[in-house]
């Protein structure tokens, strides 16, 4: 075995300096930082077209950022960024390039993999998707009984579900009214059964979305969907009602889908980075090819910014470094995402996969053990609803939880008072989390009380504040701004992976459970099969067998 290369950033002087800086500044309160510097917002905010990032409500000074930029330099961030752009196989464990940026490229861009240009194939697939989308949207693509398609069901999971689902929900104001978009990911039969409720086989189109075309959840749902269609239609109907998105032509053919109905993507696209590829077909069907181009253009704009802007003005770089500051140097374990937009309700789930499947690793890219905390637990919920659920813990709990607040300045829905109230809540939460409420302020509110009641209530009504948040204000949720937002998070995750020495583009950790499920499934079906698991798993299997056998 060759000697693994060592991750040693955590033994460098810059790492030590950041620890020292954290110890020296950890008692500093943001309320005082704001009071001391009337320019704090100007100093710690950035704009890129319709996106404003306010990162002034963080436990940072200019010195903190200087040190974090030094850390990024020490991790060779510029080199890694260039290596990704150049199509080098930076996904070292799978020996693959990482070129989701090429998926939003345009004619003339020089993206290459193994020295071969890739833009021609990217554009060819995009053009085929557009032609197909136009046919379906215009009603020219007919189902088996001659009627146009009215419902589209995307069958996929993980990256083959979350990105398109999020984008279709977020961009509903741009959607073709005649198409009912549905998504099925779960293996639980109720997901498919409920999605099919009210649909007619003759007017339903299924998209089987799977990069590997081996994912059992998706294939099982696709088989059940095909049986549902064929209960009402002749075998030839499959060609009118099933299309596939995959990097595996032969497996698509073996499943019974004509490769003529397949939209390809490539192994240099990770599943969680694939919404820009053919995996976005459902999005294109819903919003149309022109709006989909705008979605790609938004991402491309963020790519150019990420590749070119100096670190001190680079939105994804700063977002990533703030995350490293809390995660590594404050040992904050989680990071919350609060979109104040109903259409972005699935953003936390999308970012869970993007971030946690990418950076939830304990080993560096060359196999070395990392003895510090890496990717945080990402969680969150749509804003306002979450205020009435878990914000108590953010305001008065014991944990440091950095938060992202994402909010559009304009709504597509004509209830202006609602929107203003929504935005007010968003801004108010960032203010309350930052300021807190002091003893003097609480005493003012409790004037008139004294004695035991005051003693009991005072500590309960205090808010420590100093809870950090970034506010990402978008002019409106449009295809363009959504593209910018998602690309921004992709680059954030990349930067953090570089700092922590992680290969953010493989996901070995999801394999083991799948392997055991393949072993357990036949053991559930065959009551006589011998069991050789641990006592708990054996007992659970036995419990299932016994309960299943009951009437």
Residues that bind ligand F6P (CB under 6 A): 157-160, 210-212, 215, 218, 271-272, 357, 507, 510
| Catalytic position from the list 11, 27, 95, 388 | 388
| Catalytic position from the list 357, 381, 490, 523 | 357
For the bound state, the minimum distance from the C-beta of residue 222 to ligand F6P, rounded and expressed in Å, comes to 10
Tokens describing residue 447:
């004037």
Is the CB of 272 or the CB of 346 nearer to ligand F6P? Answer: 272
Secondary structure in 3-state letters for 278-307: HHHHHHHHHHCHHHHHHHHHHHHHHHHHHH
For the bound state, the minimum distance from the C-beta of residue 349 to ligand F6P, rounded and expressed in Å, comes to 12
For the bound state, the minimum distance from the C-beta of residue 268 to ligand F6P, rounded and expressed in Å, comes to 14
Secondary structure in 3-state letters for 316-352: HHHHHHHHHHHHHHCCCCEEEEEECCHHHCCHHHHHH
Distance separating alpha carbons of residues 467 and 103, to the nearest angstrom: 37
Is the CB of 22 or the CB of 160 nearer to ligand F6P? Answer: 160
For the bound state, the minimum distance from the C-beta of residue 218 to ligand F6P, rounded and expressed in Å, comes to 5
Is the CB of 162 or the CB of 233 nearer to ligand F6P? Answer: 162
CB 149 within 8 A of CB 143: yes
Burial class of 401 by CB neighbour count within 10 A (0 to 12, 13 to 18, 19+): buried
Is the CB of 41 or the CB of 508 nearer to ligand F6P? Answer: 508
- Indicate the SS3 state at residue 125: helix
Is the CB of 452 or the CB of 511 nearer to ligand F6P? Answer: 511
Q: Catalytic site residue 492?
A: no
Please state at what angle helix 289-308 crosses helix 315-324, rounded to 10 degrees. Answer: 70
Q: Which residues contact 445 (CB under 8 A, 6 or more apart)?
A: 461
For the bound state, the minimum distance from the C-beta of residue 369 to ligand F6P, rounded and expressed in Å, comes to 23
| Catalytic position from the list 19, 76, 418, 514 | 514
Q: How far is CA 79 from CA 86, 178, 302, 465, in A?
A: 10, 48, 18, 38
Is the CB of 163 or the CB of 201 nearer to ligand F6P? Answer: 163
Nearest CA-CA partner of 185 in 223, 159, 150: 159
For the bound state, the minimum distance from the C-beta of residue 515 to ligand F6P, rounded and expressed in Å, comes to 12
For the bound state, the minimum distance from the C-beta of residue 272 to ligand F6P, rounded and expressed in Å, comes to 5
Distance separating alpha carbons of residues 377 and 233, to the nearest angstrom: 46
CB 346 within 8 A of CB 165: yes
Q: Catalytic site residue 217?
A: no
Distance separating alpha carbons of residues 210 and 220, to the nearest angstrom: 12
CB 315 within 8 A of CB 200: no
Nearest CA-CA partner of 288 in 198, 155, 122, 167: 167
Nearest CA-CA partner of 210 in 284, 159, 268, 261: 159
Is the CB of 247 or the CB of 467 nearer to ligand F6P? Answer: 247
What element of type H or E holds 22?
helix 13-25
Q: Which residues contact 461 (CB under 8 A, 6 or more apart)?
A: 437, 442, 445, 446
CB 247 within 8 A of CB 264: yes
For the bound state, the minimum distance from the C-beta of residue 538 to ligand F6P, rounded and expressed in Å, comes to 26
Distance separating alpha carbons of residues 345 and 170, to the nearest angstrom: 8
For the bound state, the minimum distance from the C-beta of residue 158 to ligand F6P, rounded and expressed in Å, comes to 3
Tokens describing residue 138:
């215009």
Is the CB of 409 or the CB of 510 nearer to ligand F6P? Answer: 510
For the bound state, the minimum distance from the C-beta of residue 125 to ligand F6P, rounded and expressed in Å, comes to 16
Q: Catalytic site residue 78?
A: no
Is the CB of 357 or the CB of 490 nearer to ligand F6P? Answer: 357
Is the CB of 94 or the CB of 373 nearer to ligand F6P? Answer: 94
What element of type H or E holds 491?
helix 479-500
CA 469 from centroid of its chain's CA atoms: 18
227-232 contact pairs (CB < 8 A, 24+): 228/196, 228/201, 229/201, 229/204, 231/201, 232/201, 232/202
- What positions carry a catalytic annotation? 357, 388, 514
């Amino acid at each position: 075995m060759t000697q693994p290369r060592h991750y040693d950033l955590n033994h460098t002087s810059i790492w030590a300096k950041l620890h020292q800086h954290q110890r020296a500044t950890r008692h500093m309160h943001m309320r005082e930082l704001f009071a001391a510097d009337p320019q704090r917002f100007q100093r710690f905010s950035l704009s890129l077209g319709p996106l404003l990032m306010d990162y002034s409500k963080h436990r940072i000074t200019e010195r903190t950022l200087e040190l974090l930029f030094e850390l990024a330099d020490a991790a060779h961030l510029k080199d890694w960024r260039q290596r990704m752009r150049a199509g080098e196989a930076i996904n070292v464990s799978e020996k693959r390039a990482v070129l989701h940026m090429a998926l939003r490229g345009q004619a003339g861009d020089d993206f290459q993999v193994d020295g071969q240009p890739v833009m021609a194939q990217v554009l060819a697939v995009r053009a085929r998707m557009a032609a197909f989308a136009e046919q379906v949207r215009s009603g020219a693509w007919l189902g088996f009984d001659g009627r146009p398609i009215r419902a589209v069901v995307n069958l996929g999971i993980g990256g083959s579900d979350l990105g398109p689902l999020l984008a279709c929900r977020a961009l509903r104001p741009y959607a073709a009214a005649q198409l009912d978009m549905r998504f099925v990911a779960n293996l639980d039969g109720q997901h498919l059964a409920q999605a099919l409720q009210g649909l007619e086989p003759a007017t339903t189109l299924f998209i089987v979305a799977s990069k590997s075309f081996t994912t059992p959840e998706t294939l099982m749902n696709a088989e059940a969907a095909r049986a549902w269609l064929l209960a009402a239609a002749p075998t030839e109907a499959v060609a009118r009602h099933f299309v596939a998105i995959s990097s595996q032509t032969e497996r698509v053919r073996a499943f019974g889908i004509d490769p003529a109905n397949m939209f390809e993507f490539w192994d240099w696209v990770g599943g969680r980075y694939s919404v820009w590829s053919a995996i976005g077909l459902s999005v294109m069907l819903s919003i149309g090819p022109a709006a989909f181009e705008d979605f790609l253009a938004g991402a491309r704009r963020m790519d150019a910014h990420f590749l070119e802007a100096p670190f001190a003005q680079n939105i994804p770089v700063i977002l990533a470094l703030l995350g490293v500051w809390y995660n590594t140097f404050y040992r904050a374990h989680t990071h919350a995402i609060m979109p104040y937009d109903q259409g972005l309700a699935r953003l936390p789930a999308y970012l869970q996969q993007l971030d946690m499947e990418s950076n939830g690793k304990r080993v560096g890219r060359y196999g070395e053990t990392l003895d510090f905390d890496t990717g945080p637990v990402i969680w969150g919920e749509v804003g306002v609803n979450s205020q009435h659920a878990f914000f108590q813990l953010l305001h008065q709990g014991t944990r440091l939880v950095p938060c992202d607040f994402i909010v559009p300045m304009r709504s597509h829905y004509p209830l202006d008072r609602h929107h203003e109230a929504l935005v007010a809540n968003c801004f108010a939460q960032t203010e309350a989390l930052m300021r807190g409420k002091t003893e003097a302020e609480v005493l003012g509110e409790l004037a008139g009380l004294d004695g035991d009641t005051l003693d009991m209530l005072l500590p309960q009504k205090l808010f420590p504040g100093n809870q950090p948040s970034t506010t990402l204000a978008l002019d409106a949720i449009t295809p363009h701004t959504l593209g910018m937002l998602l690309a921004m998070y992709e680059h954030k995750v990349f930067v953090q992976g570089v700092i922590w020495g992680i290969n953010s583009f493989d996901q070995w950790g999801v394999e083991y459970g799948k392997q055991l499920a393949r072993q357990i499934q036949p053991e559930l079906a065959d009551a006589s099969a011998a069991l050789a698991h641990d006592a708990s798993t054996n007992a659970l299997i036995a419990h299932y067998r016994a309960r299943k056998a009951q009437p």
